[in-house]
């Protein structure tokens, strides 16, 4: 049976046609994934995920490209999504570790780790830095603008919105 007929049968729900289609392309997909990831274990996991996604999305295959190209596209997108997720998770873990180290250092030097400092740590640096410079170190809006190389209006806006976020965080903490 030719591949086009097999795909049509799989799209209509023929499980045997789907199994044969996936089996026919598995080796090709694995070779691609091993080269892409340089890790056979990750490649195997991605192959399994790609096969599952193929089963779920077979109805979306329109025949404009080769079926093997469509599988590679699915696999590549899954891999990219996983890499993005792992980067986000790594950044979050790194940030948590740095936060714990900072808290330890402040406590070690007998500096207070207050609820305000905790809430401040949750802000992005774009909001945190102007608030620190203004309210902890007493710089003017113009001085902060010069330090950060941004317009004074942006400094005012970031401080305003950052303080609102801090108030929300601190109010939420008080309710718990």
Which CATH number goes with the domain that contains 166?
1.10.10.10
Q: What is the pLDDT of residues 99-158, one digit of tens each?
A: 666 665 555 555 444 566 667 777 777 878 788 788 777 889 998 888 888 999 999 999
Q: And the tokens for 70?
A: 């469509």
Q: What is the pLDDT of residues 162-174, one digit of tens each?
A: 888 878 877 765 5
Residue 124 and residue 63 share a domain: no
Domain region containing 138: 114-175
Q: Is residue 49 part of a domain?
A: yes
CATH of the domain at 76: 1.10.1740.10
Please give the tally of structural domains in the chain: 2
Residue 63 and residue 19 share a domain: yes
Q: Is residue 97 part of a domain?
A: no
Q: Is residue 25 part of a domain?
A: yes
Which distant-in-sequence residues (6+ apart) come within 8 Å of 123 by Cβ? 131, 162, 165, 166
């Amino acid at each position: 049976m030719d591949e086009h007929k097999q795909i049509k049968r799989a799209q209509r729900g023929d499980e045997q046609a789907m199994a044969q289609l996936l089996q026919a392309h598995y080796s090709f997909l694995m070779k691609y994934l091993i080269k892409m990831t340089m890790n056979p274990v990750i490649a195997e996991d991605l192959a399994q995920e790609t096969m599952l996604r193929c089963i779920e999305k077979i109805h979306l295959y329109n025949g404009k490209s080769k079926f093997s190209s469509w599988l590679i596209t699915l696999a590549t997108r899954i891999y990219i999504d996983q890499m993005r997720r792992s980067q986000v998770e790594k950044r979050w873990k790194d940030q948590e570790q740095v936060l714990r180290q900072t808290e330890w250092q402040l406590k070690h030097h007998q500096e207070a780790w207050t609820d305000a400092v905790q809430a401040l740590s949750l802000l992005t640096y774009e909001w945190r830095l102007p608030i620190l410079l203004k309210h902890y170190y007493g710089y003017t809006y113009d001085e902060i603008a010069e330090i950060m190389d941004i317009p004074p209006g942006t400094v005012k806006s970031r401080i305003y919105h950052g303080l609102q976020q801090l108030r929300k965080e601190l109010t939420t903490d008080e309710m718990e």
